[in-house]
Amino acid sequence: MMPSQASETPTFVTHLECSMTGQRYEADRIHGLSEVGRPMLVRYDLDALGAALSKQDMATRSGGFWRYREFLPVRRAENVVDLGEVMTPLIPLATIGARLGLAGGEIIVKDEGRLPTGSFKARGLALAVSMAKELGIGHLAMPTNGNAGAAMAAYARRAGMRATVFCPQDTPEINISEIALQGGEVYCVNGLINDCGKIVGEGKEATGWFDLSTLKEPYRIEGKKTMGLELAEQLGWELPDVIFYPTGGGTGMIGMWKAFAELEAIGWIGAKRPRMVAVQATGCAPIVKAFEEGAEHAELWTDAHTVAAGIRVPVAVGDFLILRAVRESGGFAIAVTDEAIMEARAEVAQEEGLLLCPEGAATYVAYKEALADGRVTPQDRCVLYNCATGLKYPMPKVERFLDRHQPVDYAAMS
């Protein structure tokens, strides 16, 4: 919840700019993509921000990502749309780390499943919906693989807005029901998320809705940026050695990289950066292919398929920004198999009591493979992003039947 004094806090937004050309755009106006069809980035007066705010100020604040309000674009406190956001915990995988023989290093999961609607999509959509409210937009639409649509529906209804969502036909039923129950109008499409996005784009003129697709408006990046701000604060304003991030549209990767630059500019961190690792599935790995080929943009991935629906994104409008973050950081992109993802999900749950979503499990697979081939070392502190609660996803059926009319065989349970 944003504190009441937020209405007295100055905002530091100066302008927006095209992420490819640097062309400036006026703030406080409705924007989609830039004139060259690329994502827009919000820019701030960082000198003024740094002079107005200190790490000590942050230490006195409670609550979730709205605590970073000076780093965010919402100008008026009454336009903040919140659902009780929290600072998501860092959970060390100590048992697994000991088994893997880590020598001073750590595996830490940042569990984004604790946010409203059960995923890190709450960060981006809370900011996007809040800015839509501030700019007077009343009808939002987006394509989704599930969690983003659920977050948009929830925050839109909280703000009194209309939400229309399009998702692939094989989207988990729990996501479809969640969107509908939270007031969203949800349509299932016999295609992938890019097909859903095409419907949203083509319908703008006829319906008047605003397209909230990944990176097609400027503010979801700002919400996802708070993952980087929060992580830095939780680690005492030090950054880890490596971040493994499940990468579909890549908003979080782009947002965190932006956050680290802003923190350095105001003097809260130094020049050290984590090696950023984009994790995808072998059935849908356009960023991995582009990285390995040295390309600036990723080609459309045909026949995209994976059990990790959140990273089944055949083409990303911010591909060059993802690749830029990976390369500038000295990181890498890696694809893992569905079989390994599901095995890893069970492994972490059984050894650590932490139920990851498939996308989060993919980061653990990527970590193990990178540890084995030397791309990370036993001395590295590595953060894995679990992007949603594992409770949203299908699980194996387990049934042990007891007949209440028969004696219980306690010896078999001992």
14 part of a folded domain: no
CATH of the domain at 222: 3.40.50.1100
Write out the residue range of the structural domain in which residue 303 sits: 90-116+218-392
Give Cα separations from 261 to 69, 257, 274, 325 (angstroms). Answer: 17, 7, 12, 11
Q: Tell me the HSE value of 162 on the side-chain side, using a 13 A CA sphere.
A: 10
In whole angstroms, give the CA distance from residue 123 to residue 213.
Answer: 14
322 lies in a domain? yes
In angstroms, the CA 383 to CA 108 distance is: 5
Number of independent structural domains in the chain: 1
d(CA 224, CA 220) in angstroms, rounded, equals 6
Q: Which pLDDT value is given to residue 10?
A: 60
Task: Record the tokens describing residue 205, joined without a space.
Answer: 């003129």
Buried b (16+ CB within 10 A) or exposed e, 344-380: bbebbeeebebbbbbbbbbbbbbbbbbbeeebbeeeb
Amino acid identity of 57?
Answer: D
Confirm if 155 and 147 have CB atoms less than 8 A apart. no
Q: How far apart are CA 189 and CA 170, in angstroms?
A: 9
**Interatomic CA distance for residues 277 and 337, integer angstroms:** 16
As to burial, measured by CB atoms within 10 angstroms (0-12 exposed, 13-18 middle, 19+ buried), residue 318 is: buried
Q: Is residue 55 part of a domain?
A: no
Number of H helices, E strands in the chain: 13, 13
Taking the CA of residue 187 as centre, how many other CA atoms within 13 Å lie in the half-sphere pointing to its CB?
16
Residue 2 has what pLDDT? 44
Burial of 253 (0-12, 13-18, 19+ CB in 10 A): buried
- Asked if the structure places residue 173 within a domain, the reply is no
274: in domain: yes
Distances (CA, A) of 307 to 170, 208, 284, 338: 11, 34, 10, 6
Position 381 scores a pLDDT of: 98
Q: What is the DSSP letter of 168?
A: E
Q: pLDDT tens digits, the chain, 414 residues: what are they?
A: 444 444 544 689 999 999 999 999 999 999 999 999 999 999 999 999 999 999 999 999 988 999 999 999 999 999 999 999 999 999 999 999 999 999 899 999 999 999 999 999 999 999 999 999 999 999 999 999 999 999 999 999 999 999 999 999 989 889 999 999 999 999 999 999 999 999 999 999 999 999 999 899 999 999 999 999 999 999 999 999 999 999 999 999 999 999 999 999 999 999 999 999 999 999 999 999 999 999 999 999 999 999 999 999 999 999 999 999 999 999 999 999 999 999 999 999 999 999 999 999 999 999 999 999 999 999 999 999 999 999 988 777 888 888 889 999 989 888
Q: What's the confidence (pLDDT) of residue 397?
A: 82
Please give the single-letter amino acid code of residue 101. G
Q: Is residue 245 part of a domain?
A: yes
Residue 244 domain flag: yes
CA dihedral sign of residues 22, 23, 28, 29:
negative
Does the residue 73 lie in any domain? Answer: no
Q: Which of 10, 11, 52 is nearest to 267 (CA)?
A: 52
Helix intervals (H) in 282-393? 286-293, 319-328, 338-352, 358-373
pLDDT of residue 5: 42
CB 329 within 8 A of CB 354: no
Q: Identify the CA nearest to 138 among candidates 117, 166, 169, 160.
A: 160
Name residue 31's amino acid.
H
Q: What are phi and psi of 295, to 5 degrees?
A: -85, 155
CB 100 within 8 A of CB 371: yes
